[in-house]
């Protein structure tokens, strides 16, 4: 296929990756027609809602792009067959959660959705189709996709239907909350594949807005592994600084000062050194666990153990926080009111997957605390689902607050878990007057100013500084 033949793109999966990625491609390539399909009809309806506040995901700047591309060259639909058969290029962008049962449970990725998508492509594609794996996947998944597509191809050949496929890996490096900027100005685009024509076709799509020298082409497996390795390295930095945060609290050092001092070393760099309640999101833990699983599979137990420790520290950090809350509140939170500010795994997203808030809130609820939770973008239905996963013997008591003052009314403590903009520069004099006395502020994201809090008579504990 010659690259200039790409006219129609289909993306399977209208989630946090597929939605924003296709919106930006549609915006930058007005000559391409892009259809995003999903088995979840409700999600498709939400993407098509005329009220842009009802888009299924919150991502700064996304509504602006949707408003100029949707209906022009970007379409969200449930019409799987036609969208795939018309497409020259199909992106697979479906969920790949960690397996919960069977071989590799708790570590390996569940590829059911990827496999189902590949089967749909195999069934409906016509002529030559470039299939691109976009979901975060373990190394060698492209091979599995190839095998599914080739099997279908052999069957069709018997029926004298000619269809051919090229499989590419094109991992996504966008971070939620900054997805639009990451897509519009990526550090690099990575494309893995052996079929040069297919690779060039995809390069040409990106060259509509990404300089050629930022598009790295490599083989399939290097591309797949680079994604896992990049996320593992990023997560490792967070666990490293979080381990140092505990050290700072014990010694009187300040983790922000330490991060600043080490970050000025060019070899270390100043990004991803913010201590906090641990990393969340759909990728980091899943990717590291994949790496751990594959290391074991390939007979590299020391490598597996090394990366697993990044996850161990992450869970430990979350547990450490709830235990500190407990300890400061005289060893018990039973019946005490605690406000939670921020439930998403980071600011500027409504995503709660693997959010530290889930584990920390669950532990506090298990201890008998009564929580009032405020988050500017996460819905109460989402929180209910997240907290339902845990059994509290019917003792689960939490409520959603519609504002920060409502959340803080009559509480014994407030725990800040996400660095939403609106949590900075709050009027703590006023907020302190709403809280019970003596009350605590637990700040895990370095949001508040120590002097300001202490002037109000509130007690303060800051992660990486202590009290």
Catalytic residue numbers?
A: 283
Strand order of the β-sheet with 413-416 is: 398-400, 370-374, 337-341, 413-416, 440-443, 459-462
**Least gap, CB of 14 to ligand ADP (angstroms):** 5
Binding residue (CB under 6 A) for ligand ADP from 23, 95, 337, 350: 95
Report if residue 281 touches ligand UDX, rule: CB under 6 A: yes
3-state secondary structure of 232: helix
- What stretch of H or E contains 115? helix 112-124
The answer to whether 360 contacts ligand UDX (rule: CB under 6 A) is no
Considering only residues 15 to 34 of the shown chain, the ones binding ligand ADP according to CB under 6 A are 15-18
The entry of ligand UDX, ligand ADP, none near residue 94 (CB within 5 to 8 angstroms by kind) is ligand ADP
Residue found by looking up tokens 């970050």 in the block: 263
Report how far residue 174's alpha carbon sits from residue 16's, in angstroms, rounded to the nearest whole number.
10
276 binds ligand UDX (CB under 6 A): yes
- Smallest gap, in angstroms, from Cβ of residue 132 to ligand UDX? 15
**Alpha-helical segments (H) within 3-51:** 18-28, 41-47
- Least Å distance, CB 171 to ligand ADP, is 11
How far is residue 330's CA from residue 250's CA, in Å, rounded to a whole number? 19
Which secondary-structure segment (H or E) carries 74? Answer: strand 74-77
Name the helix (H) or strand (E) containing 37: strand 33-37
Nearer to ligand UDX, 165 or 420 (CB): 420
Q: How far apart are CA 330 and CA 325, in angstroms?
A: 9
# residues near ligand UDX by CB under 6 A: 19
Point out which span in 6-14, 281-289, 433-441, 453-461 binds ligand UDX (CB under 6 A).
281-289
* Cβ atoms of residues 374 and 403 within 8 Å: yes
Residue owning tokens 């007057």: 433
Rounded to the nearest whole angstrom, what is the least distance from the CB of residue 95 to ligand ADP in the complex?
4
The answer to whether the beta carbons of residues 35 and 60 sit under 8 Å apart is no
Task: Among 33, 59, 133, 172, indicate the residue that binds ligand UDX (CB under 6 A).
Answer: 172
Decide whether 15 or 138 has the Cβ nearer to ligand ADP: 15
DSSP codes of every residue in 356-368: HHHHHHHHHHHTT
Backbone angles phi, psi at 79, to 5 degrees: -80, 85
Residues 6+ apart with CB under 8 A from 29: 73, 205, 208
Tell me whether residue 245 or residue 282 sits nearer to ligand ADP (CB atom): 282
Binding part of the chain for ligand UDX, among 33-41, 125-133, 272-280, 403-411 by CB under 6 A, reads: 272-280
Nearer Cβ to ligand UDX (209/272): 272
Residue 332 C-beta: closest distance to ligand UDX, Å: 29
* Residue 346 found at the interface with ligand UDX (CB under 6 A): yes
Where does this chain touch ligand UDX (CB under 6 A) — which range of 83-91, 204-212, 276-284, 311-319?
A: 276-284
The reply to whether 285 sits near ligand ADP by the rule CB under 6 A is no
Omega of the bond leading into 447 within 30 degrees of 0 (cis): no
Of residues 233-252, those binding ligand UDX (CB under 6 A): 234, 238
Which spans of this chain sit near ligand UDX (rule: CB under 6 A)? 172-176, 231, 234, 238, 272-274, 276, 279-281, 283-284, 345-346
Which spans of this chain sit near ligand ADP (rule: CB under 6 A)? 12-18, 37-40, 43, 93-95, 113, 116-117, 135, 282
């Amino acid at each position: 296929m010659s690259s200039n033949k790409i006219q129609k793109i289909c993306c399977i999966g209208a989630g946090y990756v597929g939605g924003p990625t296709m919106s930006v491609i549609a915006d930058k390539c007005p000559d391409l027609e892009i259809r995003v399909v999903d088995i979840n009809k409700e999600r498709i309806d939400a993407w098509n809602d005329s009220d842009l506040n009802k888009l299924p995901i919150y991502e700064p700047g996304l509504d602006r792009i949707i408003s100029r591309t949707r209906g022009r060259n970007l379409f969200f639909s449930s019409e799987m067959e036609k969208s795939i058969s018309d497409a020259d290029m199909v992106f697979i962008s479906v969920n790949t959660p960690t397996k919960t049962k069977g071989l590799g449970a708790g570590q390996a990725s569940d590829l059911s959705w990827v496999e189902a998508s590949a089967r749909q492509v195999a069934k409906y594609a016509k002529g030559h189709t470039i299939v691109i794996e976009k979901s975060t996947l373990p190394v060698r998944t492209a091979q599995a996709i190839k095998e599914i597509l080739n099997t279908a191809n052999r069957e069709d050949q018997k029926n004298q239907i000619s269809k051919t496929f090229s499989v590419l890996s094109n991992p996504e490096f966008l971070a939620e909350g900054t997805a639009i900027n990451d897509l519009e100005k990526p550090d690099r685009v990575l494309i893995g594949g052996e079929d040069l024509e297919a690779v060039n076709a995809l390069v040409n799509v990106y060259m509509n807005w990404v300089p050629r020298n930022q598009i790295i082409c490599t083989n399939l497996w290097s591309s797949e592994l680079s994604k896992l390795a990049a996320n593992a390295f990023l997560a490792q930095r967070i666990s490293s600084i979080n381990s140092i945060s505990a050290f700072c609290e014990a010694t009187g050092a300040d983790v922000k000062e330490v991060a600043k001092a080490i970050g000025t070393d060019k070899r270390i760099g100043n990004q991803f050194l913010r201590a906090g309640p641990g990393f969340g999101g759909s990728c980091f833990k899943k990717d590291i666990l994949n790496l751990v699983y594959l290391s074991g599979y390939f007979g590299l137990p020391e490598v597996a153990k090394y990366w697993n420790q990044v996850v161990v520290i992450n869970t430990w950090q979350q547990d450490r926080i709830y235990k500190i809350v407990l300890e400061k509140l005289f060893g018990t939170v039973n019946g005490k009111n605690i406000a939670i500010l921020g439930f998403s795994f980071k600011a500027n997203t409504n995503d709660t997957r693997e959010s530290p808030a889930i584990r920390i809130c669950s532990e506090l609820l298990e201890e008998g605390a009564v929580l009032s939770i405020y988050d500017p973008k996460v819905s109460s239905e989402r929180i209910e689902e997240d907290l339902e996963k845990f059994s509290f013997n019917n003792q689960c008591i939490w409520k959603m607050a519609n504002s920060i003052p409502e959340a803080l009314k009559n509480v014994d403590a407030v725990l800040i878990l996400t660095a939403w903009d609106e949590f900075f520069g709050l009027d703590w004099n006023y907020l302190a007057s709403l809280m019970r006395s003596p009350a605590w502020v637990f700040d895990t994201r370095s949001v508040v100013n120590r002097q300001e809090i202490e002037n109000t008579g509130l007690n303060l504990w800051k992660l990486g500084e202590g009290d």
